[in-house]
């Protein structure tokens, strides 16, 4: 009887623990990108903190899909580009007339430079040279396509100036390797697997993106920045530092996330900063101060509490 009672209480404790667990889904990107491993490792850190949250990741089309899915309550959390978050919050570009005022960043993450990778024999030495070439501009729903559209507009060009393809990040490198396209774009953290692989296995080049028109975009919009890819990051085919134009990755939620949930997530990451930085080379140089820059929309109040407690905010 005593054993039965003990077994019963263990069972009811387990049931209670489960009942008190909140399950949250994080939208990421393609499996060959940086969002997916970073989202997965963030989930692990939060889950291991044992604070009643159970985070899982989903591979998705990327930023624009993620932000729309948070708005539709299909996702609770996501990785997303700072330009997409800013324009969603302010109802601009793809979000024109349809602002998402409830989007709330939790953590500012790594730099996401736009990578323009071309076959060496395509003769593309700068952005404008893509005119007339077969170029993958990014898949629908990706942040890649979103940022490429802004860059094309800044250069006075449009999608019609290229023979456009809209490939997923897992497909584009294979198309390039097979000579079915000349170039592809990918906004991704420095050292992303997809870029490393293609640069190692085909005669490809990483095209510098330091045009004055991009400098003007950075002047106008705080969520853009230049980033330098250190020489040889992508092996022998990238012998020199390359300056790229790009954005920043953010970990976002919305006002649907409670103050406590957002607080617990950010606190778990802050408490495990070393482990977090070790997840991916793109995060290696990140500081806690970087968590608070380039957010594109107001910080979630729960995140604010965690940063204040850590002495990072007044």
DSSP 207: P
Positions in 27-66 near ligand GLU (CB under 6 A)? 29-30, 33-36, 62-63
Q: Number of residues interacting with ligand GLU: please give it, by CB under 6 A.
A: 17
DSSP 300: P
191 binds ligand GLU (CB under 6 A): no
Site string for ligand GLU, 4-33 (x = CB under 6 A): -------------------------xx--x
DSSP 229: E
Give least dist CB 179 to ligand GLU, A. 25
- The answer to whether 88 and 100 are in contact (CB under 8 A) is yes
Positions in 242-301 near ligand GLU (CB under 6 A)? none
Positions in 147-176 near ligand GLU (CB under 6 A)? none
Q: Where are the alpha helices (DSSP H) in the chain?
A: 2-19, 35-48, 63-71, 82-90, 143-154, 172-177, 193-201, 212-220, 259-271, 273-277, 301-309
Task: Choose the binding region for ligand GLU from 18-26, 148-156, 184-192, 220-228 (rule: CB under 6 A).
Answer: 184-192
By CB under 6 A, name the one of 53, 144, 176, 206 that touches ligand GLU.
144
Tokens representing 42 are 């963030």
Tokens representing 183 are 């170039």
Give least dist CB 278 to ligand GLU, A. 17
105 binds ligand GLU (CB under 6 A): no
Task: Choose the binding region for ligand GLU from 12-20, 160-168, 187-195, 272-280 (rule: CB under 6 A).
Answer: 187-195
- The answer to whether 270 and 310 are in contact (CB under 8 A) is yes
Residues 6+ apart with CB under 8 A from 81: 63, 112, 143, 146, 147, 187, 247, 248, 249, 250
Residues that bind ligand GLU (CB under 6 A): 29-30, 33-36, 62-63, 81, 112, 142-144, 187-189, 192
């Amino acid at each position: 009887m005593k054993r039965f009672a003990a077994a019963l209480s263990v069972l009811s404790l387990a049931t209670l623990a489960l009942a008190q667990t909140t399950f949250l889904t994080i939208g990421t990107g393609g499996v060959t990108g940086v969002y997916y491993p970073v989202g997965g490792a963030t989930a692990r850190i939060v889950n291991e903190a044992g604070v009643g949250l159970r985070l899982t990741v989903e591979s998705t089309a990327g930023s624009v899909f993620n932000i729309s899915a948070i708005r539709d309550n299909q996702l609770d959390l996501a990785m997303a580009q700072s330009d997409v978050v800013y324009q969603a919050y302010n109802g601009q570009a793809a979000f024109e007339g349809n602002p998402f005022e409830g989007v709330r960043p939790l953590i500012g993450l790594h730099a996401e430079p736009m990578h323009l990778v071309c076959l060496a024999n395509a003769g593309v030495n700068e952005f404008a040279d893509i005119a007339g070439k077969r170029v993958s501009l990014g898949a629908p729903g990706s942040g890649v396509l979103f940022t490429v559209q802004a860059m094309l507009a800044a250069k006075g060009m449009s999608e019609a100036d290229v023979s456009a393809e809209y490939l997923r990040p897992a497909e584009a490198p294979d198309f390039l390797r097979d000579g079915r396209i000349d170039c592809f774009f990918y906004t991704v953290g420095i050292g992303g697997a997809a870029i490393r692989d293609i640069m190692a296995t085909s005669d490809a080049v990483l095209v510098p993106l330091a045009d004055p028109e991009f400098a003007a975009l950075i002047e106008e919009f705080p969520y853009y920045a230049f980033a330098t890819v250190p020489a040889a990051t992508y092996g022998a085919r990238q012998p020199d530092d390359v300056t790229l134009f790009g954005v920043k990755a953010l970990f976002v939620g919305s006002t649907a996330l409670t103050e406590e949930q957002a607080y617990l997530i950010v606190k778990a990451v802050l408490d495990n900063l070393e482990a977090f930085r070790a997840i991916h080379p793109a995060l290696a140089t990140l500081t806690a101060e970087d968590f608070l820059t380039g957010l594109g929309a107001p910080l979630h109040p729960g995140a604010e509490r965690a940063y204040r407690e850590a002495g990072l905010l007044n």
